[in-house]
Amino acid sequence: MSRSALLSAGVTVRRCTPADQPALLALHRSGFVAQWDAAAWRWRFVDNPLRATELIGGFAADGTCLVAFAGVPLPCRVRGEPRRVHLGGDVVVLPALRHGLAGARLLHRAAEQYFAGFGDPACRLVLGWAEPPLRRLLVRHVGCEILGDLLFLVRDLAAPAPPPPPGIAVTADHRLPDDVDALWQRCAASVPTGLVRDRAWLQWRYADHPRVRYTLLAARDAGGALRGLAAVRAGGYHDAVCSLVEWLAPPDDGDATAGLLAAAGAHARALGRQWLLAMFASTSREFAAFQEQHGFHVRPAPHQAVIRSYEPGVDRQFLFDHWQHSMGVLDFA
């Protein structure tokens, strides 16, 4: 259908529901190379930890979805207090509308409604890694700010690998350990501002993912206590890497860190990968320690984190200094 025909009868921009799935899938198939299927769509927008479907769509009179502005609401903490963050992603415009003023205006309408929120006062932040054209719209027109560059940490797996520390045993599974919530509670003290990466997050994001099979590495000491957990996968940002997508270990537990990294490196080599890729907030202790102690170097990517905060005092400077995350916040990981 022509662009003029799609827009001639008017467009309704509104909140979507699970009943809109077929129209949204059709838009995604036409607008993205990496396409959703019904299982992936439901996993992301219905079965997420809060069981909330919160995305905006622009619909033509015949029901065709022309634009979607999507995100996933997730539990987080700010200064140790419970909040919600909208993890933005999957913004799609019908290809026929991408190069005209009408399409840009429609995207702007959808973005404005998306950033107006979904009625939950606990949702105090939107965070995402937008492509450059979308990033410009968000900053210029809907009150977003740039938080910082996307910085990966990379280790060359051809370099000699340090031996695993004595007293730490690492096992690999596709299921979560039963005691993972106790580990999160020990780690949470060092993450007063950031995503809540408890069992609900880990189960949804990794164990239940409908497309990617993650390997969960669990580090235990001689007494059987769970000291650390990592989720790894082949590829992600690049086919030549093995991605260290999730990391839960107390920052002061050097043995757990060394054991997990030794196991992740061995796993990556077994997959035939050349590089081990990790990601942390640039102000985190892990970001510094992985470089200073474990042979990683910084590799910038052409993406930037975009934020919009709705809470006084939780501004760009505060989030730059305090927000913590793992690579699991990225769609392509």
Give whichever of 1-15, 20-34, 107-121, 185-199 has the largest mean pLDDT.
185-199
The confidence band for 2, taking pLDDT boundaries of 50, 70 and 90, is low
Please write the tens of the pLDDT for every residue from 275-320: 999 999 999 999 999 999 999 999 999 889 999 999 999 999 999 9
Sign of CA dihedral 258, 218, 160, 149: negative
Please write the tens of the pLDDT for every residue from 5-28: 555 458 999 999 999 999 999 998
Looking up tokens 């479907």, which residue turns up?
53
In this model, does residue 332 exceed pLDDT 90?
no
> CB of 195 within 8 A of CB of 76?
yes
Q: What pTM was estimated for this model as a whole?
A: 0.93
Please write the tens of the pLDDT for every residue from 64-102: 999 999 999 999 999 999 999 999 888 888 888 887 788
Identity of the amino acid at 235: G
Average pLDDT rounded to a whole number, residues 221-248:
95
- If we measure between CA atoms, which residue out of 119, 60, 57, 126 comes closest to residue 91? 57
Average pLDDT value over all residues in the chain: 91
Same fold, 3-143 and 152-302: yes
The confidence band for 4, taking pLDDT boundaries of 50, 70 and 90, is low
What percent of the chain has pLDDT above 70? Answer: 97
Cα–Cα dist 137/230, whole Å: 36
Sign of CA dihedral 38, 40, 41, 43: positive
Say whether domain 152-302 belongs to CATH 3.40.630.30: yes
Q: Which residues pair with 230 in a beta bridge?
A: 217, 247
For domain 3-143, which architecture applies?
Answer: 3-Layer(aba) Sandwich (3.40)
Domain ranges in the chain are 3-143, 152-302
**C-alpha 130, offset from chain centre:** 12
Cα–Cα dist 176/169, whole Å: 16
- Cβ neighbours for 224, distance < 8 A, ≥ 6 positions apart: none
pLDDT at 77: 96
